[in-house]
Structure 1
Amino acid sequence: MTNLPATLADWLAVLETRHSKEIDMGLDRVAAVKNKLAIHYDCPVIMVAGTNGKGSTCAMLEAVLMQAGYRVGLYSKPHFLDFNERARINGEMVKDDVFISTFNAVEEARGDISLTYFEFTTLAICKLLADARLDVVILEVGLGGRLDAVNVIDADVSIVTSIDIDHIDYLGDTREKIGFEKAGIFRPGKAAICGDPLPPQSLIDHANAIGADLWLFGRDFNYNGDKQQWNFAGRSQRRNSLGYPSLRGANQLLNASAVLAALEALKLELPVGAQEVRTGLVMVDLPGRFQVMPGRPTVVLDVAHNPHAAATLAQNLDNMGFHAYTYAVFGSMLDKDIDGVIAQLKDKVDHWYITALPLPRAAPIEVLKDKLIAAGVLADTEKTVTGFDTPEQAYAAAISKAGENDRIVVFGSFLTVAGVMPARRSALH
C-alpha cells in the first residue's frame, strides 16, 4: 500500500474490507509475517483460551500482577466502544499513534500475504507488546486455540477456562472436538492449566501426548469457601482468607483459581504476595460480565452469547433477589445457538425487547421473534416480545417502561452490550 492511512479509524476501515473471509483458519500466513516482524518476548507469556471466562481470567491476572508491581501487557477482545481497549499496558489503553506506527510495520512486513482483520490486528498488538519492555504479557485467544492467530506465540503458561459448544462451524459440534482445539495452545514442558471441572478427555490426551505439564482443577488445584471468604490450594502453595473477586457471578471462583494456579506455576519468575492477590482480586474491573449498574431500575450488562454463559447468567439473576418484572434487551449473531440461550433464560424474563445488530451475520428481528415463539414465550399472556432496529432503541424503550423495582438485562452479544453503553453513558451525564 503506497499511501498508508493517517488515522487509526482509517486503518481499521481498510482492514475491515480487505480480506475476503472474516475468519480464515490456519497459522501459516500469520507465522510468516510474525517471523518477518521478529516478534519475540523477553518475559513470561500467559495465554488464555476457553468458551467462557477468558475476559474475566485475563482481567484478574492483570489486576493481581499490577498490584505486585509488574509492568503488564494485555491483549483482549473484542472491544466495546474503542478499538484501543484491545491493548493495554499497565491498565492504560494503547494510544492511536502507537497503533498506527505498528500497523504500518505489519503492512510493510506482510508484502503480498493476505491477512484478515483479526490476524493483522493480532500481529500488530503482539508486536507492540513485544516492543514495550514488559515484565509479563497476557494474551486472550479469540476463537478456539489451535488455529487462532494468537497461537503463533509460544506461551509459558496456558489456561483453558471452560469448554462448551460454540462456534460449531469452525471448532466442531462436541465438547471433545472443541477441547482438542482449545488444547492447541498447550506447549511441551510448560504449565497447561484447565479450569473446567469436567475437562474433555481430548484435552487431557493432547496435553499428555505433547508432554505439557497439565494442571487439572480438583486434582492439582482447588478452592473452598464460605459466604465471607475463600481459600485456594495448589500443588505446593495455599492462599487463605481471600476476599471474593469484585467480578460478580457463579463461575468467578473457578476463574480465580485458574489464575492462582498460573501464578503458582510462575512463582519463581513472577513472585506475588498474599496481600497483592487479595487486593488485585477485589479491585478487578471488567465491563459487560454480569455488570450490575448503579441506580434504579437495576440494569445488568452481560455479554452471554451461548447456552453455557446463559445458564450462568440465569443462575446469577436468581441470586439477585426480588424484582417485580424483568425486561431483556436481546440481540444475537445468527451462527449462535439462539434456541439454547433462550431455553436458559425464558423463565427469567417477562418482556423481551429484541434488536437487530450492525453486522451482516446478526440474527434478524424476525428470526429472534420466531425462536421466542417456538420456545413458548408468548404462551403466557403476561409476556411480550417487541422488536427494535438498534440496541439503543430497545434499551430506551425498556427504560421508559421499567419501574424502579424492575430490572433490565442486556445480553446476547458484545454488540448488544456495546450498543447500550453509549445510551447509559449519556443518561448519566
Structure 2
Amino acid sequence: LFTVAGTNGKGSTCAMLEAILLAAGYRVGLYTSPHLLRYNERVRLDGVPLSDARLCAAFETVERARGEITLTYFEFGTLAAWEIFAAEALDAVILEVGLGGRLDAVNAFDADCALLTSVGLDHTDYLGDTRERIGYEKAGIFRGSRPAIVADRDPPRSVLDHAGAVGVDLWLIGRDFGYRKQGQQWMFWGRGVRRGGLAPPALRGERQLANASAALAALDALRARLPVGMQDIRNGLAHVELPARFQVLPGRPTVVLDVAHNPQAAGVLAENLAAMGFYPETHAVFAMLRDKDVEGVCRALKDRISTWFAADLSVPRGAGAQTLADALARAGVGGGVICCKNPLEAYAAAQKRASENDRIVVFGSFHTVADVMQGIEAARIGVPGARRGS
C-alpha cells in the first residue's frame, strides 16, 4: 500500500507509480481526487476507471454498513474505493491523500510506503498558514519503521522532526535519491542503485523528473515485495497519462491545460511555460475558487501572460471575474484583463484573439479546466450550440 501526500505533484506521482507497476504485470488499484469530468476517474482497477454499476454497488455497501455514523463526502468515497479494492486480488494499492494527511480519510489505512511530494501553502484554513504547520499535517501519513519518501528539496523542520519521532525509514531527495539530466535523457540514483539512459516521462513539465524519482524511490524501498525491471520503468514512464497537468493539445494556436491553483503550482507552470520557447503572445483563461491565494497565483504568472481572460466560476466557492481582475491589479498587472461570464466564454474569446503562433493557457482550478475540456469535446463531436474557437 502506497499513500501519497503533497501540496502539488501527488497526482503525477500516483500516475507514474501505477503505470510502472502495470507495466511490470502487477494488478493495481488507484484512488485519486478530485476528478475532472466524471467521478469514475477517482477509482481505477488496472488502469481502467470503474463502471457506474460497480461504484454504485460499493456506495450501497457503505451506506448499509455505516448505520448511524455520519460520513463526509470524501470519507464515503474512500470507503467505497477500499471496499472495491478489498474484493480484488491486487498486488498494490495507491491512495492519494485528499487534504493534508494526518486527519485525511485515506490515513485510516497503514501504508507500507508513504510519499510526500511537496509542501506549499494551500488549504490554509484547514492545515495552517505556514509550511511548518502544513508539513506536520502531511507528515501524519508516515508510519514507524516503514519507508517515507520526501521529494521536497527544502522540507519543513516539522516533517523531519515527525519522521524522527515516529521512527520512519526516511528517504530525502538529494540525500537518499535523486536524478541527473543526461542530455535528452536522465538518470535516477538511489540507495546503492543507478538507472541511466531513461527517457523523460510522458508527462510534460520541469518538475516531473522529481515526481518520477519519488516514484522510483518508493519502488526501490519495496523492491523485495514488488520488484520491477528497467524495461518496466521505461514502458511505464513512456505510457503514463494524466490529463490537465501541463497537457499540450494538438493544433494551433498552442493550448496548454493545467490545474495549477496555488502559488507553488503556478510557479511551476510559469517555469514550464518559459521552457516551451518563444510565443508572440500568451493568453490566459483563468478562473479560481475564492478561498485560494488568487493574488499569489497572479504574481507567479504575471510575467508569462500577455492577456488575461478572467472568468466567473459558477460553483460553490467560485470567484467572480471582477474579483480575479482586482487580484491581478494588486499583483501589478496594469491592463489586458477581460472579464467573461464563464471559462468556456473566456476560452472562445482567447481563441478569437490569438493568432496561430500564439499560446493559450487554461488554469486556476479543476473546474476551470473541466469546463473548457467539455466545451472542446462538445465542439469536436458537433454538439449543437457548442462554442468553437475561430
Equivalent residue in structure 1 for 2:354, among 394, 402, 412: 402
Equivalent residue in structure 2 for 1:386, among 338, 355, 375: 338
Instruction: Report what 1:357 is aligned to.
Output: 313
**Equivalence map 1:25-174=2 (5 Å):** 45-174=1-130
Residue 422 of structure 1 pairs with residue 378 of structure 2 = no
Residue 290 of structure 1 pairs with residue 242 of structure 2 = no
- What 5-or-longer segments of structure 2 have no aligned partner? 382-390
AA of the residue aligned to 1:192: A
Residue 309 of structure 1, CA deviation: 0.5
Instruction: Report what 1:341 is aligned to.
Output: 297
Equivalent residue in structure 1 for 2:325, among 369, 383, 387: 369
Instruction: Report what 2:160 is aligned to.
Output: 204
Residue 374 of structure 1, CA deviation: 2.0
Instruction: Report what 2:206 is aligned to.
Output: 250
Instruction: Report what 1:19 is aligned to.
Output: none
SS of the aligned residue for 2:115 comes to strand
Residue 215 of structure 1, CA deviation: 0.7
AA of the residue aligned to 2:365: S
1:360, 1:128 → 2: CA distance? Answer: 30
Instruction: Report what 1:272 is aligned to.
Output: 228
Residue 220 of structure 1, CA deviation: 1.0
- What 5-or-longer segments of structure 1 have no aligned partner? 1-44
TM-score by length of 2: 0.96
Residue 116 of structure 1, CA deviation: 1.4
Residue 233 of structure 1, CA deviation: 1.1
Residue 352 of structure 1, CA deviation: 0.8
Deviations, residues 20-61 of structure 1 (Å, cap 9, x unaligned): xxxxxxxxxxxxxxxxxxxxxxxxx00100000000000000
Residue 401 of structure 1, CA deviation: 1.8
Instruction: Report what 2:280 is aligned to.
Output: 324
Instruction: Report what 1:42 is aligned to.
Output: none
AA of the residue aligned to 2:113: V
TM-score by length of 1: 0.87
Percent identical across equivalent pairs?
Answer: 59
Residue 393 of structure 1, CA deviation: 1.3
Deviations, residues 349-394 of structure 1 (Å, cap 9, x unaligned): 111111122322111222111111222312xxxx421122221111
1:167, 1:308 → 2: CA distance? Answer: 13
SS of the aligned residue for 1:133 comes to coil
Instruction: Report what 1:193 is aligned to.
Output: 149
2:146, 2:37 → 1: CA distance? Answer: 36
- Comparing 63-72 with 221-230, greater Cα deviation is found at 221-230
Instruction: Report what 1:226 is aligned to.
Output: 182
AA of the residue aligned to 1:154: D
State the 4+ residue runs in structure 1 displaced beyond 6 angstroms: none
AA of the residue aligned to 2:313: L
Instruction: Report what 1:8 is aligned to.
Output: none
SS of the aligned residue for 2:304 comes to coil
1:376, 1:337 → 2: CA distance? Answer: 15
Deviations, residues 138-169 of structure 1 (Å, cap 9, x unaligned): 00001100011111011000000001111111
Deviations, residues 63-108 of structure 1 (Å, cap 9, x unaligned): 1110000011100111111110000111111011111111111111
AA of the residue aligned to 2:233: V
Deviations, residues 240-298 of structure 1 (Å, cap 9, x unaligned): 11111111111111111110100001101111000110111111111000001100000
- Comparing 125-134 with 247-256, greater Cα deviation is found at 125-134
SS of the aligned residue for 1:347 comes to helix
Instruction: Report what 1:12 is aligned to.
Output: none
1:361, 1:420 → 2: CA distance? Answer: 19
SS of the aligned residue for 1:312 comes to helix
Residue 262 of structure 1 pairs with residue 262 of structure 2 = no
How many residues of Structure 1 are paired with residues of Structure 2 in the alignment? 381
